[in-house]
Every structure is written in C-alpha cells, then in structure tokens.
Amino acid sequence: MIDCCIFDLDGVIVDTAKYHFLAWKRLADQLDIVFTEENNELLKGVSRVESLNIILRLADKTLTEEERVSCLERKNTWYLEYIHRLDRSEILPGVEKLITEIRGRGIKIALGSASKNAVIILQQLKLMDMFDVIVDGTQVSQAKPDPEVFLNAAKDVDIDPQKCLVFEDAVAGVEAALNAGMYVIGIGSEETLHQANFVLQDLQNQTLDQLIERL
C-alpha cells in the first residue's frame, strides 16, 4: 500500500524553527517590528519570501524590492550561522530509526522540503545517504499547500502518489500532501494538524506497520 515515504525536513527531521526564529527576530529588530515566538508559528512550512511578507504585514510595513532582497540575504546569512553549528544530536527522536527501518524494507525515501538550505542541513546531520530523492525549495516554483514538491518527489522515484505517505509538521504541508492525493501523518498538535490522516507528537517508538495500520 505504501511504496514511498516523503519526509518534510524542518520540524519533522530536525527542529530548525528556533534558528529561523532567532534569525527573523534579528531582522525584525533591525526593522523595528515586534516579532514573537507566537508569530513565528505562522512561518512554519512557509517559503522564505512569504515569511518576510508575513513579518512585514505584522507592522503594516512596505519595503522596496532592493530592501526586500537585502533583508532576505541578511536573514539567511544569520540562519546559516546556526545551521553550520548543527549536528546529529539535533535529529528529532525516532526519525532516523524509522527511516532506517523503511529503507531496510526496500521502500523509497524522499525529502519534500520548502527549504533552499535542505542539502546543507542534511549534510550537517549526516543523513544525505538516507534519501533516494531530495526535492527542496531550489527546485519548485509553487510553495506548499501547492502539491508540487510532493508530486515531484513521487515522480522522481517513479511511484504513484496514492502509494506515498508524507510526514509533515506544518498545516500548509499537510494540505500539500492531501492536494497531491497522498496519505499524510501530522507531527505536532492534533488541534493544528487535524486534516492529516492522524497526528503524532513525534516519531519515537513508531514502526512502519503500526503507522500503516492507522491510515
């Protein structure tokens, strides 16, 4: 029934939201915009450009195109300072074990992420070899909830979308998976991700058979 598992990166494999927050906060401070951890929730699964739009909207602020480009560059430089210090201790509980089990059963593993920094993050975590296919923010034109990222992953491994299972922590990502006609397990809170087939707090102590049984 499942021939390919597609993992989102940020919030499913590694908790990078705190580093995105620190970098966006630094930018917001420079722009004199109040930006809280609660506001940061709005940015989960959202592209870098749209994240900046959301932050600017919080303060009804507009910038020239040149200023916007400079803001995006600054934010990413600061974010990458954290990412360069990332290591395997930050892989979220249960993920690596589950991916290893899935691979062992000959089921394809893909990454479906909005991040343009996905490869460097997987390199820092030494997880590159785990993936048959990586589709990230450098390869898609439509952001989640558009299904493009997941459909491209399915196409690259040559598996029917109906036989793909997505792991997602963001509402936009759950919607993208459903829009792709795939199964989706939400990682996080039931309240936020209720559209998913079912929701887990994390992937600790989960086996593929247990997960498939609940779909």
Residues making contact with ligand BG6 (CB under 6 A): 9-11, 20, 43-48, 51, 76, 113-117, 137, 170
Contact 8, 196 (CB under 8 A): no
Taking the complex as a whole, the smallest distance from the CB of residue 173 to Mg ion amounts, in Å, to 6
At position 189, the amino acid (one-letter code) is: S
The continuous run of DSSP H or E covering 65 comes out as: helix 65-83
Taking the complex as a whole, the smallest distance from the CB of residue 174 to ligand BG6 amounts, in Å, to 13
20 or 108: whose CB is closer to ligand BG6? 20
Contact 136, 7 (CB under 8 A): no
Contact 143, 114 (CB under 8 A): yes
Contact 52, 72 (CB under 8 A): yes
User: Does residue number 148 form part of the binding site for Mg ion (CB under 5 A)?
Assistant: no
Name which position in 23, 169, 186, 193 contacts Mg ion (CB under 5 A): 169
Taking the complex as a whole, the smallest distance from the CB of residue 191 to ligand BG6 amounts, in Å, to 18
Contact 125, 91 (CB under 8 A): yes
User: Does residue number 136 form part of the binding site for Mg ion (CB under 5 A)?
Assistant: no
114 binds, among ligand BG6, Mg ion, none (CB under 5 to 8 A by kind): ligand BG6
Q: For residue 127, which of 17, 206, 9, 208 has the smallest C-alpha distance?
A: 9
Name which position in 170, 178, 193, 200 contacts Mg ion (CB under 5 A): 170
3 or 202: whose CB is closer to ligand BG6? 202
Catalytic residue numbers read: 8, 10
Q: At what angle do helices 48-58 and 17-30 cross, to 10 degrees?
A: 50
The site for Mg ion (CB under 5 A) is made up of 8, 10-11, 45, 169-170
